[in-house]
Copies of this chain bind each other. A is one copy, B any other.
Amino acid sequence: MTSLQDFYPDSYAHCHGCGRLNAHGLHVQSEWRDGEATAHFSPAPYHLSMPGFVYGGLIASLIDCHAMATAAAASMAAAGEVPGVDTTWRFVTASLHVDYLRPTPIGVELVLRAHATEVGARKVLVEASVTAEGVECARGRVTAVRLPAHMGG
């Protein structure tokens, strides 16, 4: 299965959160289906806040990159392009809000789901959730802005 991040232009594939060309990165990979993006991520043992629980900064990072891919896919779909086939549009984060609903257990795979709630010409609003073993642990609201075309957007 290919991800939306596989289709970022090389020049924008260095992101620490989701860039396939960042050897030290997290490599978030988001798949698009029926208006929703899904990502699976297994935190490393050192990605903890306190023993047993995932670091909130990691959760914010996962939401950030997953939301950018979601914004791209939703915009592309609205414009008649095919997310996961055509080159993924490049968005940047204008604002990121995360509500930590409960401690997120470490040692299990996290599932991120996100969808766009508003798709504008340049600005897209995204809502995301992070679940562990079926329990929602965090929720995100992200404002994404498309990069100008000359910057790879």
Q: Please choose the segment from A18-26, A78-86, A110-118, A123-131 that sits at the chain B interface, where 4 or more of its residues have CB less than 8 A away.
A: A18-26
A87 at the interface (CB under 8 A from B): no
Q: Which residue of B lies closest to A23 (CB)?
A: B46
Per-position 1/0 for A85-100, Cβ under 8 A of B: 0000000111111111
Could you tell me the distance in whole angstroms from the C-beta of A71 to the nearest C-beta in chain B? 13
Knowing A16-B47, A16-B49 are in contact, say whether A58-B61 is a contact too (CB < 8 A). Answer: yes
Could you tell me the distance in whole angstroms from the C-beta of A51 to the nearest C-beta in chain B? 6
Interface residue count on the A side (C-beta < 8 Å): 38
Could you tell me the distance in whole angstroms from the C-beta of A46 to the nearest C-beta in chain B? 4
New contact pairs (11) apart from A50-B152, A97-B98, CB-CB < 8 Å: A14-B48, A14-B51, A16-B46, A17-B49, A17-B56, A26-B57, A57-B64, A58-B61, A60-B61, A93-B100, A94-B100
24 A–B contacts from the bound complex (CB under 8 Å):
A11-B51, A14-B49, A14-B50, A14-B51, A15-B48, A15-B55, A17-B49, A17-B56, A22-B46, A22-B48, A24-B46, A57-B57, A57-B58, A57-B60, A57-B62, A58-B61, A60-B60, A92-B103, A94-B99, A94-B100, A95-B99, A95-B100, A96-B97, A97-B97
